[in-house]
Amino acid sequence: MVSHLVSLLLVFTTLASAWLPLENEDRDVFTFNASLVRRGDDSHSSDSTAEWLPPSGKIRGVNVGSLFVIEPWMARTTFNNMGCRGLKSEFDCVSKLGQSQADTVFQHHWDTWITQDDIRTMAEYGLNTIRISVGYWILEDIVDRDYEYFPRGGLQYLDRIMGWASDQGLYIILALHADVSIYNRIQSEVLD
């Protein structure tokens, strides 16, 4: 299990450089992380490490909830319309619908929940950051298909939304909202 989590982090770390608004061609996620450590500590400052905050010095962002980890309490009508009425999680929905049908309805959800126009509007409103929650199952090769039922195909949609955000100059915070060791299929019962 640890090796799967390391793989997950490496994939996200490798791809993250494409999702940061770049100020110069040499910037990558490792330089970005180093700039966080150096920020505010002149003894470690470096001319080659640019500040990661926008010129205003403030992050103004929004959470893009229920895109890749649907929380029925947040998107009940959408979840019901997907054929998942009364269910508590994506796991339960895929179990009920079957893999092929679930893949189809989730791909439609990913196509329509947040669009390129939405990302453009966020930037026009002065937002400079979006937070996207993902579950470990976005990396399909670590899902045990004998026992775990999650929609397939999300990674290409994640790449697409991150491309749109990057094109608008937005910073992206990826939140591993559900990892392999703690995902709880009844996460939304508390709010029912």
Question: Angle formed by the axes of helices 90-97 and 99-112, to 10°?
Answer: 130
Give per-residue pLDDT as tens, 150-186: 999 999 999 999 999 999 999 999 998 877 765 554 4
Rg over CA atoms, the chain: 18
Give per-residue pLDDT as tens, 24-83: 444 444 444 444 444 444 444 444 344 556 667 788 899 998 999 998 888 999 999 999
Q: Which amino acid is at 46?
A: S
Sheet holding 61-64, edge to edge: 61-64, 129-135, 171-178
For residue 190, how many other CB atoms are within 10 A of its CB? 7
